[in-house]
Amino acid sequence: MTLAPDIQQVTAFGSQPRRDSLRQAVFLDRDGVLIRDKHYLSAVAGIELLPGVIEALRALAPHFRLIMVTNQSGVARGLFSAARLAQIHDALLAQFAQQDVHLDALYCCPHHRDGTLASYTAACAWRKPQPGMLLHAIEKWALDPARCFMLGDQDSDMLAGQGAGMPSFMIGPEQAASKHAHARYADLGQAARAMLAHAG
């Protein structure tokens, strides 16, 4: 994982030929959607996949590009380094790969305007609720936003999806409902079934 010279940290895994025709994608927040939210996760040992995530991603993969988009201001706040964050993401991707699940890309914004590290202190256009990460992927793969979905557990995720012109689903318990979400689902598995019905 490398830090781009401007304001985004990006890891992209390329596209397989069989996926070149895909014009729809599922954008996935990390904490609370794919893994349990540990509040500034700073160690590989703390990665805990949420129940049903692998099955849901396997079901979605033939129909959608799978793109993780995550704010990680812990870097800007000095809670962990960019190198440690890269280790965590490499370990997460390895866990997915062991179960034959592969993301098309991972986009990560380590910046925050109130950070304590000068090199990461910025009002970043890629930090959700700004839609920068999503818009980059839409342009890169000529995606149709109306056929894409943003999944997250925070209002910032819903607003990012809204800003990119796509439906946004809140993942979490009933009290996690958001006025900015198009729908709410208890977990990724429930959301996947709804998206597959839409894709079909």
Active site residues: 29, 31
- Give the tokens for residue 10: 């990006």
Bridging pattern class, strands 149-152 and 105-109: unpaired
Angstrom distance (rounded) from CA 197 to CA 178: 22
One-letter amino acid at 110 equals P
Where is 125: in which H helix or E strand? none
Q: CB–CB of 146/128 below 8 Å? A: no
Instruction: At 115, give phi and psi (nearest 5°).
Output: -65, 165
